[in-house]
Amino acid sequence: MLMLITATTMTTACGGSDDEPTTSTQPTPDPDPDPDPEPAEMGRYVGGDISMLTKYEEAGVVYKDKDGKTVQPLTFFKEQGMNAMRVRLFVDPSRDSDKGVCQDLDYVKALGKRIKDAGMAFMLDFHYSDTWADPAKQWTPDAWKNLNNEQLCDKIYEYTKDCLSQLKAAGATPDFIQTGNEISYGMLWGTEGTNENRCYTNSPAANWTRFINLLKKAGQACREECPDAKIIIHSERTPKANVLTDFFDRMKNASLDYDIIGLSYYPAYHGNLATLETALTSLENKNYGKDIMVVETGYSYAWALGGTTYDYTATYPYTEEGQRKFTADLVTKLNSHSCVKGLFWWWPEDNGNKNVTNSWWNAALYDHNTGKPYAAFYELKNFK
């Protein structure tokens, strides 16, 4: 935000509050010869998690525009109004047979550099695991499993710092950094199949202390290596506003240093747009002083997503037009919230049956048969 030199106190962060504005009749003093500039208000970012793009390209998948002309994906995404892309990072994905779990540091360095070279912002999503990290799976990497809590804090700091240092050297400095993926219930739990170290609302305080200490060490590494990057804390508890705000209350009470609240919102799992509205309003009313980004979303173009718990087809059928209409309405909803600064579609680049992954993602933005974007693709640019 451009700070005008006046005697009026201003709100300086989304959701934050300063003293009531007051006006003085005294002349405004001259500014310091070399004053610290007011941080610019963050613009809006729209794009997607394109973590599999490299694999599709290696398999010979062809990306086209709506007229059937072959395009270079990143150049085309930029031309269509997208200005940021997200990529996930696993510690050692080689132990997982899922073809979607392939993003080691070398992979991310190369794709991250391409994103930056294309003139877009780069969001790095640390999974801090060898495999998918989500609310039900936050397993400690194999190489870290014998570390105690103090050693684990050191490890996450060292690992985060080293990854960021290498990314910088490769020309892939992140602009946004997620220190964990969908971490509502903690992360780096420990041994698979156990309930140790999980962070529910009624979990022992020690579990939460351990979790927040890990986040603090990861954040410290981010500030040291990438001081200009924005740190994102990511939760998927969109349908449960009380759990969501309890989580971020704990972050506030612990004085956790971060910049952005990241949310996942999939209607198939989280409910209708009114549910999203409740979550956004609840966060705004808490005055955390943080911007918000929807860092994952998606809606099907043909079939129900696996594990669907909410049927929205009466409003948005599983068709290309239904997907487009959902996307348009989502963008309208988010545009009505000034605190929302980001919208990222998950896995938009899924395209073609080339044996690239174990299964299709039925909420992609590309027609697998033609290689052309679905209509929803062209709605995203309206988030602004």
Residues 6+ apart with CB under 8 A from 256: 212, 215, 216, 219, 233
Question: Per the structure block, which two tokens stand in for 344?
Answer: 């990222």
Q: Report d(CA 18, CA 334) in Å as an integer.
A: 25
Q: Report d(CA 18, CA 11) in Å as an integer.
A: 6
Residues 6+ apart with CB under 8 A from 8: 21, 22, 23
Report the catalytic residues. Answer: 182, 296
Q: Which of 164, 194, 197 is nearest to 183 (CA)?
A: 197
First to last CA, the chain: 16
Q: How many CB atoms lie within 10 A of CB 227?
A: 7
> HSE (CB half, 13 Å, CA atoms) of 216?
15
Q: How far is CA 208 from the centre of its chain?
A: 22
Decide: 174 and 124 in contact? Cβ < 8 Å: yes
